[in-house]
Amino acid sequence: MKPLPQITPSIALFILTVITALVHFSRAVNDPEITTLFLLNGVGYLVLGALFTWTPSFLTKFRGALKWTFFGFTALTFALYFVWGFMSGEWTFPMGPADKVIEFIMLATIWQTKV
């Protein structure tokens, strides 16, 4: 029997990034008043996640800046969920809190990544 391929932290981070992007895309579809905001957030996650996971050679010297941009984007999204929740009373159970757990894991993984 062939052993399963090992999932590196980088690949795990990208998988979590895709999941959270999909959560934001689904929110964009279900709430027409804020479609643009959530579409842009989902696209931002996909672009930053892909660039961080598979950094093109011409961006290698900016990998540190890319790490902190991805971290800041994720942290801002994480924090704004709570601001939004307290202001609007909308907590989008169960998807919102589940996504915040994913984003928290993403933050920890990005933080620990050496560049």
* Bond before 56 cis per omega within 30 degrees: no
Residue type, 65: A
- For residue 101, the number of C-alpha atoms closer than 13 Å in the C-beta half-sphere is 5
What tokens appear for 17 in the block?
A: 């990034």
Asked if pLDDT for residue 3 goes beyond 90, the answer is no
How far, in whole angstroms, is CA 81 from its chain's centroid? 13
Each residue's pLDDT tens digit, 28-84: 999 899 999 999 999 999 999 999 999 999 999 999 999 999 999 999 999 999 999
The whole-number pLDDT of residue 42 equals: 98
The whole-number pLDDT of residue 5 equals: 81
The whole-number pLDDT of residue 53 equals: 94
In the chain, % helix, strand, coil (3-state, to 5) comes to: 80, 0, 20
**Dihedral (CA of 101, 107, 112, 114) sign:** positive
Model confidence at 4, pLDDT cuts 50, 70, 90, reads confident
What pTM did the predictor assign? 0.93
The residue ranges of every structural domain in the chain are: 9-112
Q: CA-CA-CA-CA torsion for 52, 65, 63, 51, nearest 10 degrees?
A: 30
Model confidence at 109, pLDDT cuts 50, 70, 90, reads very high
> What one-character DSSP code corresponds to residue 90?
-
Each residue's pLDDT tens digit, 27-44: 999 989 999 999 999 999
The whole-number pLDDT of residue 76 equals: 98
The whole-number pLDDT of residue 2 equals: 83
